[in-house]
Amino acid sequence: MAGQYAPDQPAPGRRDRDGGAPLVLLRRRPDDEAGFAVQFAHQAGAIVVATASARSTDAVRAAGADQIVDYTSADLTTAVGPVDVLLNLVSASEPDMTVLRSLVVPGGMLVSTASPASPDSARSVRAANVQVRSDAAQLAAIVAKVDAGEVRVDVSSTHPLAELARVHEQSAAGAIRGKVVLVPEPAR
């Protein structure tokens, strides 16, 4: 739901400078193959720059990313110019968050779900710390988009609930791409 939050927030920056689409940088989690954030930002009309490893590039581009930065080999601070909105979904230290905030244009916005984001009042950079919240209407809107085929859920595999421990081990080893569906045993 954080991915839906950020593009809805006004981001002066690029849109006001040249009338073009806002430039949004999504710093994604490695296991968030082609998550909702890329799709929502793309659907909102943003130019989407997303981080991804080589194994995720095709899925992230198919989700709507206009540019991919390989976080395993590129320095984000030199690979991307100023952005209007930066959505951080990865845990980062306070110094790293300061560096990320420096990538945001004056009047832009830093949104984070994983580490505290703070504003830069001298440059009018706003900050939002977004946490999971239960919002039935927002969830229903997302489900409607999935049902209509407007948003894709990248399901990589389905397992019986009894295999939960093995699925956790695979996830910890970085062997899972996309979402995993766990199916409970039928009642007898």
* pLDDT in single tens digits along all 188 residues of the chain: 444 444 444 444 444 445 567 888 878 765 564 578 889 999 989 999 998 888 888 888 888 899 999 888 888 888 888 999 999 988 899 999 999 999 999 999 999 988 999 999 999 999 999 887 788 998 899 899 999 999 888 888 899 999 999 999 988 887 787 788 999 988 77
Dist CA 119 CA 111 (whole Å) = 10
Q: What is the DSSP letter of 121?
A: G
Percent of the chain's residues with pLDDT above 90: 41
Beta strands in the chain (DSSP E): 23-27, 47-52, 67-70, 83-88, 104-112, 126-129, 155-160, 179-183
**Which pLDDT does position 174 carry in this prediction?**
76
Dist CA 122 CA 108 (whole Å) = 12
Tell me which amino acid residue 123 is.
Answer: R
**Which pLDDT does position 60 carry in this prediction?**
87
pLDDT in tens, 13-50: 444 445 567 888 878 765 564 578 889 999 989 999 99
Task: Note the pTM of the prediction, 2 decimals.
Answer: 0.78
- Contact predicate 110/127, CB 8 Å: yes
- Which structural domains are found in the chain, ordered by start? 2-129 (3.40.50.720), 154-188 (no CATH)
Vertex 55, ends 164 and 57: CA angle to 5°?
120
